[in-house]
Structure formats: structure tokens, C-alpha cells
Amino acid sequence: MILIWRMSVLDAGSRSMTNAHAWRLSDLSAVPKNGLSVMSTFCCGGGSSMGYKRAGYTIVAACDIDPEMAHHYKLNLSPPLFYRCPVKDLLSVDLPDHLYSLDILDGSPPCSTFSTSGLRDKAWGKKKHFREGQAAQVLDDLFFDFLDVVERLRPRAVIAENVRGMIIGKAKGYTKLIMQRFKAIGYRPQLFLINAADCGVPQSRERVFFCALRDDQPHRRLTIQPNVPHVSASDAISDLKDQHLQPETKPSGVDFKWWHLTEPGSSYDKAVKTTGKTKLFSHAKLHPNKPSPTLTTKAFTFKHWSERRLLSYAEWLRFGSFPDDYQAKSARVGQYMVGMSVPPKMTEYVARCVGRQWLGV
């Protein structure tokens, strides 16, 4: 099956702005509702939830353990129900009846122990605090806590996002256990590796998506093959002027030393190697004609291609496919939210595929 991508109502409406890739939270009210409901767990700053809203779904509830995430999610999305607790607490609290008839249960269990840039198996089975105010958790248990919630709520379908590292090396055994657990609780799971850039996000970000349909639902093989033309970094921010005046863009000492020696699309590490040191590999100078590299929580490592500076919050929002009016306590906190979140347009693409092929919309 060949899936033809259609420009969403939001993108069509946003063309009235000065940049075709810009949108605002207020645009969501113009999206026709498809009649399907979603609960988002590990909802972070709301990236995936905004993607569902862009696709016409209604967010009926959300959950996250992190008080900072909860604050920003509620500030920007105003969910009717929000549970600030570990996901496993959803197994014991009283829940309203409508959460037992969800169309989709969504989740992005924290995944740093499986990241290709992390400690991987050396960190498995160990408790970790992500941020102040959080309870310590064994991160590689959280996916199975999420699946316990799936078993309790029995949504028609499940969509769970995670890092590419889950299908590499020893982690493949963990992923196999997840697939087996899906089947044991009555779901047919499929696994997809998707690049956000192929979904129209101005960012190259590979992520794994587990999509599962409940056994009693009419079943067909799900196809997700995004091929949206890539959006370059320069196109994504072409209308943003004087961003170098923003305080968060101030360069540091390493930028004064290495920025002019680094080609666009490369990292400082290449220039640093001439000195025999290799400690700046994460400092990336964007290429104007390509999507941004994968955004992280460390905004200070991303540099503009033609101006010796860091990226502004407004630019960061665009590269994450976040709305221009996303509110945050500060630019740095907002950039952290975007780096932690699933890009809205990425989730939108997956949600539209699941809706059309599995849920009848």
C-alpha cells in the first residue's frame, strides 16, 4: 500500500503566515475532529499530544511524573485530566469510565539507557533520577509498567515511541520481550523505524514506534512509509529575523575558537582532532540546506551556519516542529522541552496512518 501524504489543515492555514512551516497552538481549533480519543503517558512537554491534535484526535488525559513537564504540558495544552505520578500508579488509582474506552493509549517511556549515545547495557537495571522532584526509577522497567497500564485500560490501539538504540545490539532482546508482552495481553504489535525528517520535520531524528492493535479489532497490516520532502534548516527559519539579538544565542569560548574552523554540517570535533583532542563531537554546526541534526536537551551544542552563535528559542521551536507560541519558563527550559519531546509532525504522521488504516477515519 502506498500512503499519500496530504497537507494537514494546519499547514494549509499556516501558509497565511510568512513561513509555510510555521504554526501556532491557536491553529488547532481549526482542525476537524475525527472522533477518536487519546491518553498520553510520559507526555513530556506535549510534543506527541500536539501531533495527535494536528491529526484531529482529542486528548482526554495525560500523565507524567516530572513537575516541570507537567507545568508546561498543562500551560500549553490545558488537558481535561492530568495525572502527575509514576505511570505504574495508574494501575491502582480510580480512573473515570471513559479511559476504559480509549481509541489510542500513547506513551514514550524514558529511553536514555537504550540510547546509542548513552551507557546502554551498563546502566540497565539501575535506578536513576532524571530531574529534581522525580522519584528514582529503573528506566528499563518503565516500558513494562506502561504495558501493564495497556492491559488495564484495553485501548483499541497503542502507539509507543522510543530510541533507535532499542533495535541495536543486546537491546534487541529487550525489544523482543516487549513484542511478546504485547501479544500476551491481546495485541498485535508492529515495529517501525522512522526518521522525523521524512515526516516533514526540519530535523533528522530516528525513532522506533511500537504500534499495536487489540486482537478483537478488524486487522490489516499497518504501513508507515513517510516520504515527505525534507525541510532544510534555512527554509524552516527563513522568516525569523535578528535572532542573534536573543540572549540565549550568545556564543561561548569554544565557539570563538572552533566555529570558523568547522564546515556547515560538521561538528567541532573534526577541527579539534588537529590538536589531538576529541571532546567536542556533540557541538554541531548546522547545514543550511539540510534538516537540523537530532535536537537534544543541550541547546548550547547547536550552532548557526553563517553566524557565530547558538540557536534561538524561536529557531529551536521550528526545528522541533513545535508551534511558534509554545510557552516556557525560559528559553533554555523551552529548548529542553523540545529536545525531550517527540516532534508533533512526526506523531501526526504516525497517528494519521493508524487512524486511516486501523481505526476507520
pLDDT winner (highest mean) among 124-138, 267-281, 345-359:
345-359
* Residue 211: predicted pLDDT: 98
**CA–CA distance, 8 with 349 (Å, rounded to integer):** 10
Mean pLDDT of the chain: 89
Q: What is the pLDDT of residues 149-169, one digit of tens each?
A: 999 999 999 999 999 988 888
pLDDT at 250 over 70: yes
Q: In the beta sheet, which residues pair with residue 107?
A: 41, 160
Closest CA to 222 of 82, 350, 74: 350
Look up residue 294 and give its three cell numbers.
Answer: 537530532
Helix (H, G, I), strand (E, B) or coil at 22: coil
At how many degrees (to 10) do helices 142-153 and 171-184 cross? 10
* Residue 141: predicted pLDDT: 81
Closest CA to 345 of 5, 118, 113, 4: 5
| Count of C-beta atoms within a 10 Å radius of residue 144 | 14
Measured in whole angstroms, the distance separating CA 236 from the mean position of its chain's CA atoms is 18
At how many degrees (to 10) do helices 331-340 and 67-77 cross? 90
pLDDT at 254 over 70: yes
pLDDT at 115 over 80: no
pLDDT at 8 over 60: no
* Residue 173: predicted pLDDT: 87
> The whole model's pTM is what?
0.89
Maximal C-alpha separation, the chain: 64
189 Cβ contact partners less than 8 Å away, ≥ 6 residues apart:
158, 178, 179, 182, 183, 210, 211, 212
* Residue 134: predicted pLDDT: 40
Tell me what percent of the residues of the chain surpass a pLDDT of 70.
86
Residue 234: exposure state from Cβ atoms within 10 A (0-12, 13-18, ≥19): middle
pLDDT winner (highest mean) among 114-123, 134-143, 263-272, 342-351:
342-351
**CA–CA distance, 274 with 31 (Å, rounded to integer):** 53
Q: What is the pLDDT of residues 289-337, one digit of tens each?
A: 999 999 999 999 999 999 999 999 999 999 999 999 999 999 999 999 9
* Residue 80: predicted pLDDT: 97
Look up residue 331 and give its three cell numbers.
Answer: 528559553
User: Cα Rg for the chain, rounded, in angstroms?
Assistant: 20
Per mean pLDDT, which range of 112-116, 137-141, 302-306 is the poorest? 112-116
* Residue 112: predicted pLDDT: 55
Average pLDDT over residues 50-68: 97
Average pLDDT over residues 211-223: 96
* Residue 54: predicted pLDDT: 98
* Residue 169: predicted pLDDT: 83
Instruction: Give the DSSP letter of residue 194.
Output: E
Q: How far is CA 66 from CA 147, 311, 318, 350, in A?
A: 20, 26, 24, 25
pLDDT at 242 over 90: yes
Q: How far is CA 42 from CA 4, 28, 85, 336, 344, in A?
A: 30, 22, 10, 15, 15
- Looking at residue 63, its amino acid is C
Residue 287: exposure state from Cβ atoms within 10 A (0-12, 13-18, ≥19): middle
- List domains and CATH numbers for the chain: 9-230+343-357 (3.40.50.150), 233-338 (no CATH)
pLDDT at 234 over 60: yes
Contact criterion met (CB below 8 Å) for 183 and 211: no
* Residue 151: predicted pLDDT: 98
Average pLDDT over residues 56-62: 98
More confident residue, 173 or 277: 173
pLDDT at 13 over 90: no
- Looking at residue 79, its amino acid is P
